[in-house]
Structure 1
Amino acid sequence: MVRAGARAIEVLPRQLVPTNGAVRSGAVRHGGRVASGNATLYVADDEEHDQVAPPRRPSALTRALNQVGSLFALGLDTIRSTFRRPFAARELLDQFWFVVSVSWVPAMLVAIPFGAVIALQLGTLTVQVGAQSFTGAASVLAVVQQAAPIVTTLVIAGAGGAAICADLGARTIRDEIDAMKVTGVSPIQRLVVPRVLACMGAAVLLNGLVSVVGVLGGYFFNVVVQGGTPGAYLASFTALAQITDLYVGEIKALIFGFIAGVVAAYRGLNTRPGPKGVGDSVNQSVVITFLLLFFVNFVITTLYLQLFPGKGA
């Protein structure tokens, strides 16, 4: 019902009147609907507007679950698009070289103190309990299984992943991603897949480098600083270590590299408009990657220790 003092505004705009004076059939039909009262009218009151309930905003839990679901969906789409053709081999090589070039020096510099701290801490503990001969095995296994994959992927996420997120975020706010979709080019196959594979390959290769540097750093500090025996250090390592320890470290690096690449791509493709949106996405990608890495590392380590018990267990 139209109240007194209210203005009735027609939803359909008025038809243009032809210059020759003819009457358009659409104008006749529209006039008939208005005269019969079947036309939809919008009532606006100059003094008081009708109170319309705003749409309910999803709860924080719902938004979090939606984000998690979207992240998993992107990961599955990335795996599926990896086996499609055409494959962006040139883009993969460029991204791989970029990730390795910005990550290998920081990874080695971080691996040295990691190996040293583990060797010094375990060396002090084994001296207190009278088990100095097991220092080498404990420190090397800790570096190969735990420290090396974590350090490698943290550096990749902080250097290469942040750059990937910023690149995709800048493309998103410039509407390049939407333009690719309009032209029939899949952004996931063209942009996301090469970057994720580059992070995985770089993580596997750098994990081996970080493992060697960490083991050498632990050996140096244990033998030189704490006065350990080189022979006992190496003998305990070869006596208790097994080849599956190296395999689990490489598998961790492969999975962690996939997580770092997918999270960086997801935040880049869902960037809010403006430079601040790109900066927030980069920050969120690094933080989310760190949290996921430690959680997934706990799960993999638990499963490995249950399925492949160590020697003498």
Structure 2
Amino acid sequence: MATAHVPARIHGLLNEVGELFVVALEGLRRTWDVRTWFWEFMEQAWFLARVTSLPVILVSLPLGATVALQVGQLAAQLGAQSATGGAVVVGLVREVAPIAAALIIAGAGGAAMTADMGARRIRDELSAMEVMAVNPVHRLVTPRLWASGLIATLLASLVIASGAAGGFVFNVLLQDVTPGAYFDGAVSLLQTSDLLVTLLKSWLFGLVAAVVACYMGMSCESSPVGVGRAVNRSIVVAFMLVFALNYVITTVYFVAFPPKI
């Protein structure tokens, strides 16, 4: 009996994936009409910045310190403590910053987006907007996409600064590495393309988190339980998509721009 339902499940999964892409493309299609969504964009950007800034700092500081502590101990055994700064900052820039920003956006801001869109669906606000010839995707989803992408990019920069500061404290103050050696090791390994790709990944991950959150909220069951389930699903799906997209982008980037040795 289980095998009989497999095609139906696959069809349902593909249907959801298609609808997710439709929401994303429709949300980006009317980007040029800034006047209709600018103030909603400002409100959403401020909300996301307010609920994600402190968690990002609280996550990044101990993360950078922990990486510096572990890498510093290994580097001390090899007689290369000056390389700790490079390992910490390069790891933060290439992988940690965009992933951490996306997870905070999806977990804090994305959950709120899903709950808001789900509540609007329960109250039939989305249907009322369609009756008034207002496309809810253009009015509600588009500003959230751009706000999430912008704040994710800014959060990535905050992760890098906070993580580097945490690593600096442990590496310089506790492991007796000079500040010059710490920052010189970081700068010598970084490339301009690393920063550009990190900002691109952060923006894309923020966009993905917002698309998933809005779609799950707009398509949830018309009940409080349905909204709660949609919030859980949006977080899980956003995490999976972010990790998969990060793997693809990182693989292509390392093939195109091999890291320095």
TM range (shorter): over 0.9
More RCO (CA 8 Å, sep 6+):
2
**Residue from 68, 72, 78 that aligns with 1:123:** 72
Residue 186 in structure 1 maps to residue 135 in structure 2: yes
Residue 291 in structure 1 maps to residue 237 in structure 2: no
Pairwise CA distance, 1:61: 1.5
Partner of 2:199: 250
Partner of 1:198: 147
Question: Mapping of 1:130-145 within 5 angstroms?
Answer: 130-145=79-94
**Residue from 23, 41, 57 that aligns with 1:74:** 23
- Residue-pair matches, total: 257
Structure 2: gaps of 5 or more residues: none
Pairwise CA distance, 1:144: 1.3
**Residue from 186, 189, 203 that aligns with 1:237:** 186
Counterparts of 1:301 and 1:149 in 2: how far apart (Å)? 11
Amino acid at match of 2:40: E
Q: Are the aligned partners of 1:78 and 1:192 in contact in 2 as well (CA < 8 Å)?
A: yes
**Identity over the aligned pairs, expressed in percent?**
46
Structure 1: gaps of 5 or more residues: 1-55
Counterparts of 1:79 and 1:128 in 2: how far apart (Å)? 52
Pairwise CA distance, 1:58: 5.9
Q: Secondary structure at the match of 1:185?
A: coil
| TM-score normalised by length of structure 1 | 0.78
**Which shifted more, 89-98 or 122-131?**
122-131
Partner of 2:9: 60
Partner of 1:259: 208
Question: Mapping of 1:1-313 within 5 angstroms?
Answer: 59-84=8-33, 86-312=35-261
Counterparts of 1:309 and 1:201 in 2: how far apart (Å)? 28
CA RMSD of aligned residues (A): 1.7
**Which shifted more, 143-152 or 226-235?**
226-235
Amino acid at match of 2:146: L
Pairwise CA distance, 1:91: 0.8
Q: Are the aligned partners of 1:118 and 1:142 in contact in 2 as well (CA < 8 Å)?
A: no
Moved over 4 A (4+): none
Q: Are the aligned partners of 1:81 and 1:188 in contact in 2 as well (CA < 8 Å)?
A: no
Q: Deviations over 1:87-138 (max 9, x none)?
A: 3111111111111111111111111112112212222232344433321111
Counterparts of 2:114 and 2:86 in 1: how far apart (Å)? 39
Q: Deviations over 1:13-55 (max 9, x none)?
A: xxxxxxxxxxxxxxxxxxxxxxxxxxxxxxxxxxxxxxxxxxx
| TM-score normalised by length of structure 2 | 0.93
